[in-house]
Amino acid sequence: MNDNDIVIEAWNTVLFDKFLRFKHLLIAGLAGHSDELLSRHLFPAGARVLDVGCGFGDSTVRIAREVGPKGEAVGTDCAANFIAMAEQDARAAGADNATFFCADSQCDDLHGPYDHAFARFGTMFFMMPGAALRNIRKALKPGGVFTQVVWRKREDNPWLHDAELCVRGIVPVVSHEESDQVHCGPGPFSMSGPDMVSSMMKAAGFSGITFERFDTDICIGRDLDDAIEFAMALGPAGEIIRMAGEEGERLKPQVVAALNKTLSRYVQPNGVWAPSSTWFVTARNAA
Ligand SMILES: C[S@@+](CC[C@H](N)C(=O)[O-])C[C@H]1O[C@@H](n2cnc3c(N)ncnc32)[C@H](O)[C@@H]1O
């Protein structure tokens, strides 16, 4: 398997399973950012919109409602398991104008042309981000707008970074190259630098690139135990533990004790809530 196949395999297997286990937190937590953006009515009735790296497709369904019966929201993801679940959830929600297909956004046909493209945390895991951005732009009509939500720097995202620091102090970090495990790709903070992202977008043929910061607290657990399980499964902390294999498993009791201390500061009567921060990145197909 090449590096790209390894990432796709990860999203379709071990990461899909983990996302499914924590679907109750992820859908609401990640929507905390996209709800703000989508409440601004970016997509007019009748528009055709691509949702890149759509995962469970809840954002696709939300876009489908916005564009109405004469419009279409099309979710795409490289993981067949996410697409199957997105189709099932969209049918259950009665969103007949939400459709889905499985594809690698870096190189496959994205079934354009679209008036708009959207990605909520769907572009940070590409092994070839430049190729993906070019491919997405080519699927847009001339002048079509691509809106992405990506995590800002890790220091402003304690909901993931506090647990990562905790785990790094206990579990030896094994790099992707040193491991034979499948992995998520570049990771959640790979698009956090505006200078780098702006250059990549320009090189891919986008213009009018803007960045807007948005901060909100995210629920990372129904209670402290849930938050600890979540931290040990997902994000950089979860990946460090998984990549460490047996050693990661052996050290889990120490990790639990440390996370207990670290995450307890975020406990509130209605769950465990920690700060998070994103960029809303907007750009136009200059072609
Ligand atoms: C963090 S998840 C975000 C899912 C969803 N957008 C959300 O906000 O809940 C990243 C998604 O990107 C998808 N992905 C990763 N690499 C991809 C690629 N090359 N082409 C298409 N999708 C990809 C993964 O399968 C996964 O569903």
**Cβ 106 under 6 angstroms from ligand 1:** yes
pLDDT at 33: 96
Q: CATH assignment of 3-154+186-220+276-285, given 1.20.1600.10, 3.40.50.2000, 3.40.50.150, 3.40.50.2300? A: 3.40.50.150
pLDDT at 43: 97
Split at pLDDT 50, 70, 90, the class of 184 is: confident
Query: Buried b / exposed e across 18-28, counting CB within 10 Å, b at 16+?
Result: bbeebeebbee
Task: Report the 10 Å Cβ neighbour count for 77.
Answer: 29
Residue 265 is classified by DSSP as G
Q: Rounded to an integer, what distance in angstroms lies between the CA atom of residue 205 and that of residue 229?
A: 42
pLDDT at 270: 96
In the chain, what is the straight-line distance between the N-terminal and C-terminal CA atoms, in Å?
35
**Cβ 234 under 6 angstroms from ligand 1:** no
Task: Report the 10 Å Cβ neighbour count for 50.
Answer: 28
Q: How far is the CA of 269 from the centre of ligand 1 (A)?
A: 32
Q: Which pTM does this prediction carry?
A: 0.96
Q: Rounded to an integer, what distance in angstroms lies between the CA atom of residue 153 and that of residue 138?
A: 29
Q: How far is the CA of 52 from the centre of ligand 1 (A)?
A: 7
Residue 201 tokens, joined: 């977008």
Q: Which residue has the higher pLDDT, 205 or 4?
A: 205
Give the residue, by CA position, lying nearest to ligand 1 atom 15.
125
pLDDT at 4: 87
Q: How far is the CA of 28 from the centre of ligand 1 (A)?
A: 16
Residue the block writes with tokens 């279409």: 72
